Amino acid sequence: MLKRILVIAFLITSISASAQLYPIEIRPGETKTVEPGADTLWILKDSQVKKAIIAAKKLQIEEEITKELKKKISLIEEKELIKDSLIIDLKKDRDYYIKNWKDCTNDVDLLITKCRRQKFYTRLSMAGIAVAFIAGFLIAK
């Protein structure tokens, strides 16, 4: 039994509205005239056409996967930009809080020094009161 033969003609010139869609199937015993503008004629077996269809479907699937991956890449780039701006803002806040922390530490150091002086002056004045009381008591005798 003769296998069906498909003819795929590719036109180099632009395809007009009256042009036929390819591939064209020619059954055993049929004849077909190639259009005058065609300069390439391909004759393919069914198995070759099936392989070409499978390859086209695989290519289409790969193109869809590529589109999805490009979308994911653009989404990741957008997220990266958002996170980069967040990092910049957080660094500014971090610097502000570090400055406040250092200022507070310096203030605490000053307050500790002031408290020590105050304790010293309090003890000195208590000792002075005691010495003045004893001196006054001794002078009065």
56 within some domain: no
For residue 120 the two structure tokens come to 């010293």
29 within some domain: yes
DSSP string, 20-54: PPS-EEE-TT---PPPTT--EEEEE-HHHHHHHHH
Report helix, strand or coil for 5.
strand
If one counts the domains in the chain, the total is: 1
- Total-model pTM: 0.42
30 within some domain: yes
Quick: pLDDT tens for 66-113.
999 999 999 999 999 999 999 998 888 888 899 999 999 999 999 999
Quick: pLDDT tens for 53-75.
888 889 999 999 999 999 999 99
pLDDT reported for residue 43? 75
39 within some domain: yes
Domain that holds residue 9: 1-44
4 within some domain: yes
115 within some domain: no
pLDDT reported for residue 140? 83
